[in-house]
Amino acid sequence: MPGPRPYSARVLRPAATLSLTLFANQSATLVLAPILVEIARDFDVSTAAAGQLRSVSGAVAGMTALAAGPLAGRLGLRRMLLAGLGLLAAACGLSAAAPTFAVLAAAQALLGGALAILLAGAVAGAIAWIAPERRADALSVTFSGQALAWLVGMPVVGFVGSVSWRLTWVALPIAAALVAFVLVATLPAVPVQRTSLRADLGLLVRDRAIAGWAAGEVLCFSAWTGWLVYSGALLIESYGASLRTTGLLLGVVFLAYLPGSWLARRGLDRSPRRLLVMLALGAAVAAALIGSVRPGLWLTVALLSVFVFLNSGRTIVGSVVGLEVAPGRAVTAMGIRASATQLGYLVGSSLGGLALHLGGYPALGATFAGFYLLAVAAHVLLARAG
């Protein structure tokens, strides 16, 4: 099979802009992971309770993402992304200044709206601004922004957070959002099919293939993002790692994202749906081992790296399958996917927090492994519907 084709300027420029948009988006998402324990101490709440901040943003984002299709049809894709970046900067500013835990939770609700808009818009933009035959290339470059956010952002958050967790919101997501805003403004306007929320929800309910794909995405993202929320606390509470060390190690872990997405891109020409099942099964095993096998910091970091590797590929393959089951409706499909991602944060943070409270990290890992196995069942039903 021939290798991936080289990137051209027509692919690289918009894909790099969208990658930076996802960099800003992911930066605002990951900030909580290494500073979760500090927030809990500052506001005198438990780590599990602090983890529910991600549930708040996830709930709002999950509802907002379903409206991404109608919003893009009304505003246009470029203006929707610009609005999302502005809202993200405002939410992060409020998070940095929050005097109480309740205000911080309100800021996370605003952040959830921004996350949904940016995730749906950026992934759909990879289809809108780039020729269909370069879809896999565009998605690979676009999603690399999420990996780079962890690679660059985690060490930054660890360093800045050692001074104050409040500064982390300014040093990373706000700065990235401002740069992305300038670059997105240079993209050309593109037509977007007008739709309605009622029609999009009807499509999700009536079409078994779309419903099966969406259910699998919600379950997988519940496990994937849930472990991301609690990974920093795992290293700190299990091994006594400092905030700086935790940030650095989580950045190192995300080195596995790039080869994972690259290999998945090469495998898309074969059977995306079968690959989706295989990656979910592998992630289930890794999720369980992370929580239950912890003889030392080195093994946990290695298992987290494997987990990231599998999920980076699963993210791209899941997006391609979503575009296959909803042809001609990229924004709607990616709105559903963004909703699945953010609902995953809601489910992963809330049920993960309950599992952590009741049974510690082994229960947390077993819960997330169960999510992946349920997702496999949904993917099998999707294959039959297809």
Amino acid at 345: Y
Q: What is the pLDDT of residue 182?
A: 93
Asked if the structure places residue 89 within a domain, the reply is: yes
Label residue 344 exposed, middle or buried (CB < 10 Å: 0-12, 13-18, 19+).
buried
The span from the CA of 214 to the CA of 191, in Å, is 25
Q: What is the total count of domains within the chain?
A: 1
**Pair 370, 351: CB distance under 8 Å:** no
Asked if the structure places residue 191 within a domain, the reply is: no
Q: What is the pLDDT of residue 135?
A: 65
Q: What is the pLDDT of residue 310?
A: 93
Q: What is the pLDDT of residue 366?
A: 93
Residue with more model confidence, 61 or 38 = 38
Name the pTM for this structure: 0.69
Residue 385 has pLDDT above 80, yes or no: no
Please give the mean pLDDT across all residues of the chain: 81
Q: Which domain holds residue 119?
A: 9-185+196-385
Asked if the structure places residue 2 within a domain, the reply is: no
Residue 1 has pLDDT above 50, yes or no: no
Asked if the structure places residue 106 within a domain, the reply is: yes
pLDDT tens for 6-40 read 445 566 778 888 889 989 988 888 888 778 888 98
What's the whole-number mean pLDDT along residues 206-225? Answer: 82
Asked if the structure places residue 37 within a domain, the reply is: yes
Asked if the structure places residue 1 within a domain, the reply is: no
Q: What is the pLDDT of residue 10?
A: 60
Report the CATH number at residue 210. Answer: 1.20.1250.20
The span from the CA of 348 to the CA of 46, in Å, is 17
Q: What is the pLDDT of residue 299?
A: 92
Asked if the structure places residue 4 within a domain, the reply is: no
The span from the CA of 337 to the CA of 204, in Å, is 11
The span from the CA of 199 to the CA of 197, in Å, is 5
Q: Provide CB contacts within 8 A for 375, sequence distance 6+.
A: 215, 216, 217, 219, 220, 223, 280
Residue 2 has pLDDT above 50, yes or no: no
Confidence of residue 211 (pLDDT cuts 50, 70, 90): confident
Asked if the structure places residue 376 within a domain, the reply is: yes
Please tell me the least confidently modeled range out of 112-116, 132-136, 159-163, 342-346: 132-136
User: What does DSSP assign to residue 100?
Assistant: S
Query: How does 95-134 read in b/e, with b if 16+ C-beta sit within 10 Å?
Result: bbebeebeebbbbbebbbbbbbbbbbbbbbbbbbbbeeeb
In terms of average pLDDT, the best of 147-156, 174-183, 235-244 is 174-183
Please tell me the least confidently modeled range out of 46-55, 128-137, 168-177, 368-377: 128-137
